[in-house]
Amino acid sequence: MEYSAEIKIKFKPSLKILSRIIHVMLEKNCIKKTSLSQEANIQYTRLLKHLDWLEKKYLVESVIEEGKVGIILTSKGREFAALISEF
């Protein structure tokens, strides 16, 4: 197995970071990754790891809006947001 594949398998998201991401995404309908990183105050590379995890769980998805890639919560993601918004 490749070293980078091992890192991805072992990745465990931070509930605190997930909560910050979800909080910002609930305020915005669609947001660019850079803006999300800034508004949630999360280092961009760390944000990407968490977004990758969220996408694999079908909680967020990438969409093209006005020729740019944005991130939105799925319906499953909104249910998840209701659960973790208590933290």
Contacts of 40 (CB under 8 A, 6+ apart): 17, 20, 21, 23, 24, 47
In the chain, domain spans: 17-84
pLDDT at 1 over 50: no
> Residues 3-52: pLDDT tens digits?
455 555 688 999 999 999 999 999 998 999 999 999 999 999 999 999 99
What is the assigned CATH class of domain 17-84? mainly alpha
Question: What pLDDT score does 83 carry?
Answer: 85
pLDDT at 79 over 60: yes
> Residues 56-78: pLDDT tens digits?
999 999 999 888 999 999 999 99
